[in-house]
Structure 1
């Protein structure tokens, strides 16, 4: 059969040539790559010199030209994902990038550094999880597309017949693709996500497969690639196919996602959420029409589900999208706007049923693809849902998983796996597989585009929104912010180099990598790391004291004289006319609080009883058993609260010995322009602490 590539390969290396030997049964082919002339020829095994260094490989990803010359990229490790209609599907795990040149002595120091950077770019792309391949099956096409092909198409090589939108090593294979006789060495590689599961419902076993195919047209990372290009290719375009295989019958349901098909941008500018900008001079209708013309040819009817906010910075994009659909007036396109965040605010994710009910009739009309065990097509899918949010990641994946479940419900009932009246949601074992697979799909797509795992996957995995999920979303959002502003430029350049959007010219007089970076982009990451670390420590330390019931404020020395009035003002310290206040939660029973400053230290100790032993500090105030009133601020107004225990206030560096039991409840600290405030809580009947030089030492 022509539509296969060699599965078992050996790479033989000599100083002059690479020999790629096909080890499949019944073949004698050897691909020879001249390391000097770069010529590619087909030969036989007897031409392999015995002196060659031999190693096994699992595929040729292709070749690329860098400053030092050409490089051969091969797959050195693979992992079996599963079997797909008796075809084995593999994930490429590890790669090797081999130089044609035997030495780098012909390069200058600058060229060496540039070549090293370009190599790092290639290795970065290869390090991102998501490269899949099969030596016997065309992964780039849906079941429906493959069923509507001619016999001539079936006889083409995998490289010739592949959907070029989804062949991520197409540029790397350009030299091999020009020579049909070596196509069996050319392995098309898909980038995206594939998972396969053998499942059982009602004792009936079936295979469930999920495939996401990422387009290599207008590929890139989150804020650097938005909208469409002049050919109508949308950023972050992903085709997702869900497949069921039962008793020889096959069913599939296809959806797409892609950036809002207008000319717009959202370049990183250190803001958490840069303002999206719509190009005011571009001919949006031209690119918009090109995009949907191609989508209709490939998929049929288009049901657009726009999930962006209908207020704030996202509102102009929603309005522009709706206007373009209305202006195009194409009966094959329907437009639905659903403000995901507004409808599901306060964790009301059950309201997603509003959207599902709204599109239910349309989904029934679009149907799904089904072919019986005899190979007869029972139904065709007449169109697709094209979902999008701003990133086409988190909100989009949630909606796609819900639409896919509804289609799967209908398919399994039609195939006889589900009984009449049974709901897919009631099948606990399968539901767990289904939800986790869609959450894994979300994470894979998000890591490839945004650099982190997806948001809202707690809902996808469990069917509900959780507090832990919110925390993880916050963490991923923070990582996204850092990567989008400080590392995505490198990631975008890496993808452009890998896909051939940028070609290296070793004769270029000026290094393309020598552009100086703005100092703020070098300093801000350091500042952010320090600030974030302090914030996390404060939250962790202050969190354990949050349940303590009373407020106490600590004063600087300039207001010590006010203590004898029986009230404790809220002024912490005064410096250049500015005041600062520290509020600490404590128990009525006992507490030990200290304020460490550059010039002095103030310590307030509240005890149930007993005397405080003499120490090196100066006793500023020692009230009687009468209640002490502590002033504090509430909504901008000063209020007082009685604290009916004796207190001692000391000033100066000192060693403190507690002679009464202390019940420690927590600890924490904060920064202010006049020093560092520290409050501690310990469980010890007798404890000593030395406070000196701005430090609190045990």
Structure 2
């Protein structure tokens, strides 16, 4: 199947440079890097795509805007309109297997929602505008990489391809299959980090690259996506592949990182470190086992390196993790705990050598992937190191860079560039500096997507030691993370869920906006509360200055002081109410999860939107369980939406939205 997909898309050469014509009623894409006999036309009313034989005539009455674009990512449909995602600027960041790799420098969204103007439902227009605002956040998405020529989602070791690594699956499913030359195929994306350098070692040119592949099943922001879901998918799960090319040899080493695979959360509440909470403790062991068995299926053997503290909230979480790992009975799974902060402190990161001694035998036994000068496989990697801390960012990146360095030295020794026991740090200073910068930039890319700031402890990765400047930057970034976690990431999480299809927009859900807070939360404003507290303090100070003119000013001062303290205490006690929280992704309660287990909302979305009927057949019981659950627990509108989707799956035919709307009206009539 993989070979067929590769062949199909190799026949259809991607257009790397196009002219975008913006007409009043349509967008037209004109390839510039080759002569073609057809152009892609996209209707600005509903986003429908067609191929046309010639460009429309331009005149005085029809003068379109024209711009150069470098790729169409896909199309996302909302309530009424659709939105076209286009790459408007790119930057070449290196080569991979002799093919150029580009970073998305600018992404722009073009609306195809002219039909919204004729909509008679005002609430529908309001909701469309809210969803559109969420999509605007996608224009600022950083760390997206792509190639026109090579499949970046495949590692060297295996011909692995999965939907989980593609960040734009929901966009692809809405795109026409006959336009593959205009649109990026599914498997040419999903890359959230690519860094590369070339350096001379003697007379040999050595090429080293890092590729990061992020799993999108539990994608999101730092505080709103923690731990695992019921299917064993974890937050911030990233594959990192380090690739070496020299003297005709190609070597590859793969590592993974991911959140602690337990059902836990850390909901923001204005405190600097919100408490950790285990959710559904009875399911924790099963979820962890499912996660690691999936890793074994993918990578053969796994050693789990746990870097969290032994004490405090982290310690209790680590204890639970260690206890669960004792119940996972599989000879291919090994658990190693290393208290990073307890052993290394804040500056002695060279003590990571103690960790390397614990996993050195695993690395030597399971090796790395290697091709010789003839392109023949010499050896393959048969196991992977899975590293985690709490965020899987800062401590994890320091540790992974250390392991990557050790494996690179081993590879250079095996292919004859290094002599035995030679080390990068004492041999080639320029090469060593390039390697450190590559890993530091890699860590920053992953961290910015998950937390909003560059990685902490980056000065050690970049310079090999802690510096005063690095410690100051870490302090600033920690404060920025606090602000983003509490006051910005809820909106960003909604945008992420909408973009990745974890929240499906449908008129069948009803026309009440899911993005609007309700009850007291609708009036809770951190800015207003802070302003009132500061005003109370100011009035109290002014009253104290007037005490000499009368004791009643002391009463005023006490009143304003008490008001400020009372308001501050209320905000502190109800911190969650004043934070930015996601509004789109509704969590199921325990009763719902018991009925529909093990189906999660994102898997349900994938099942309904996948064209793989064999996959549907194998998951038919889950679809039926979810359908029955929603019949019992949810509104008639959602019931009818699921019914039409289920019938569509059973018959293999397409149901149009007007059919859903008709059923929605009938369901309401029957209910009344």
Both structures adopt the same fold (TM-score exceeding 0.5): yes
Aligned match of 1:80: 92
Distance 1:95 1:349, change over 3 A: closer
How far the C-alpha of 1:341 sits from its partner, in A, is: 0.8
Aligned partner of 1:12 among 13, 21, 46? 21
Q: Which residue matches 1:580?
A: none
- Kept in 2, the 8 Å contact 1:261–1:291? The answer is yes
C-alpha contact 2:84 2:110 (8 A) present in aligned 1: yes
Compute the displacement of 1:118 (Å).
2.5
CA distance in 2 between partners of 1:406 and 1:62 (Å): 40
Q: 8 Å contact 2:347–2:466 — kept in the other structure?
A: yes
CA distance in 1, matches of 2:28, 2:81: 18
Equivalent residue, structure 2, for 1:658: none
SS at match of 1:385: strand
Residue by residue, what CA displacement relative to the aligned partner does 1:155-202 show, whole Å, maximum 9, x if unpaired?
A: xxxxxxx532221111111123x62x3223331433411111111122
Q: Higher relative contact order by CA 8 Å / sep ≥ 6: 1 or 2?
A: 2
Query: 2:461 & 2:529 partners in 1: Cα distance?
Result: 32
Say if 2:139 is the partner of 1:138.
no
Q: d(CA) in 2 for partners of 1:76 and 1:257?
A: 32
Q: Aligned in 2, Cα 1:49/1:500: closer, same or farther, shift over 3 Å?
A: farther
2:133 to 116, 120, 135: 120
Q: How far apart are 1:418 and its partner, in Å?
A: 2.0
Q: Residue in 2 aligned with 1:184?
A: 181
Could you say if the C-alpha distance between residues 136 and 21 of structure 1 is closer, same or farther in structure 2, counting changes exceeding 3 Å? same
The structural deviation recorded for 1:280 is 3.6
Question: Structure 1 residues 174 and 103, CA, compared in 2 at 3 Å: closer, same or farther?
Answer: closer
Task: Please state how far the C-alpha of 1:49 moved relative to its aligned partner.
Answer: 4.6
Q: 2:108 maps to which residue? A: 96
- 1:438 equivalent to 2:447? Answer no
* 2-structure distance, mates of 1:302, 1:341: 24
SS state of the match for residue 60, structure 1? strand
Q: Residue 525 of structure 1: CA displacement?
A: 8.4
Q: Give the C-alpha shift of residue 600 in structure 1.
A: 11
Give the drift of 1:520: 5.3
Q: Deviations over 1:266-285 (max 9, x none)?
A: 11111111111112444223
Secondary structure, aligned partner of 1:143: coil
With over 3 angstroms needed to count, the CA separation of the structure-2 counterparts of 1:323 and 1:341, relative to structure 1, is same
Residues 1:509 and 2:511 aligned together: yes
- Distance (Å, rounded) in 2 between the aligned partners of 1:369 and 1:529: 61
Aligned residues of 1:309 and 1:340 also touching (Cα < 8 A): yes
* Equivalent pair of 2:46/2:80 in contact (CA under 8 Å): no
The alignment status of 1:358 with 2:358, answered yes or no, reads yes
> Is the counterpart of residue 523 in structure 1 residue 522 in structure 2?
no
Paired with 1:524 and 1:430, the residues of 2 have a C-alpha distance of 53
The whole-number CA distance in structure 1 between the counterparts of 2:370 and 2:269 is: 48
SS at match of 2:74: strand
- State TM-score, norm by structure 1: 0.70
Deviations 1:612-667 (A, max 9, x none): xxxxxxxxxxxxxxxxxxxxxxxxxxxxxxxxxxxxxxxxxxxxxxxxxxxxxxxx
The separation in 1 between residues aligned to 2:331 and 2:390, in whole angstroms, is: 25
Number of the residue aligned with 1:428: 429
Q: Distance in 2 between matches of 1:112 and 1:480?
A: 34
Closer, same or farther: CA 600–416 of 1 in aligned 2, 3 Å: farther
8 A contact 2:46–2:115 mirrored in 1:
no
Which runs of structure 2 are paired with 1:220-239 in the superposition (5 Å)? 220-239=220-239
SS in structure 2 of the partner of residue 365 of structure 1: helix
Q: Which residue of 2 aligns with 1:70?
A: 82
C-alpha separation in 2, matches of 1:509 and 1:518: 18
Which residue of the other structure, out of 598, 606, 614, is the alignment partner of 2:545?
598
> Against the structure 1 CA distance between its residues 300 and 26, is the aligned structure 2 distance closer, same or farther, given a 3 Å change threshold?
farther
SS at match of 1:283: helix
Deviation at 1:401, TM superposition (A): 0.2
Deviates more, 1:240-249 or 1:182-191: 182-191
Compared CA separation, residues 171 and 103, structure 1 to 2 (3 A): closer
Conserved? CA contact 1:232–1:287, under 8 Å = yes
Structure 2: distance between partners of 1:132 and 1:164: 17
- Aligned partners of 1:230, 1:280: CA distance in 2, in Å? 10
The residue that corresponds to 2:592 in the other structure is none
Q: Which of the two has higher C-alpha Rg?
A: 1
User: Which residues of structure 2 form unaligned runs of 5+?
Assistant: 1-6, 549-560, 562-672
Match of 1:375, SS state, is: coil
Structure 1 residues 376 and 34, CA gap change in structure 2 (3 angstroms): same
* TM-fit CA distance, 1:363: 1.1
How far apart, in 1, do the equivalents of 2:126 and 2:174 lie? 27
Residues 103 and 261 (structure 1), Cα distance of their counterparts in 2 relative to 1, 3 Å cut? same
- Report the CA distance between 1:346 and its aligned residue: 5.5
Q: Which residue of 1 aligns with 2:565?
A: none
Counterpart Cα distance in 2 of 1:143 and 1:407: 16
- Distance in 2 of aligned mates of 1:304 and 1:220: 23
Relative to its length, the structure with more strand (as a share) is 1
Greater alpha carbon shift after TM alignment, 518-527 vs 341-350: 518-527
- Match of 1:465, SS state, is coil
Relative distance call for 1:29 and 1:530 in structure 2 (3 A) is farther
Q: 1:174 corresponds to which residue? A: 173
Number of residue pairs the alignment of both structures matches: 523
| C-alpha RMSD of the superposition | 2.8
Q: Any idea what SS the aligned residue of 1:184 has?
A: coil
Q: Aligned in 2, Cα 1:211/1:526: closer, same or farther, shift over 3 Å?
A: farther
The Cα of 1:78 is off from its aligned counterpart by: 0.7
- For 1:215, the equivalent position in structure 2 comes to 215
Change (3 A) 1:232 1:49: farther
Q: SS at 1:142's partner residue?
A: coil
Q: Deviations over 1:484-513 (max 9, x none)?
A: 111110111010011011123357321222
Q: Distance in 1 between matches of 2:531 and 2:341?
A: 32
Judged with a 3 Å threshold, the aligned counterparts in structure 2 of structure 1 residues 600 and 16 are, in CA distance, closer, same or farther, namely closer
TM-aligned CA deviation for residue 393 of structure 1? 0.5
Distance 1:246 1:476 in 2: 38
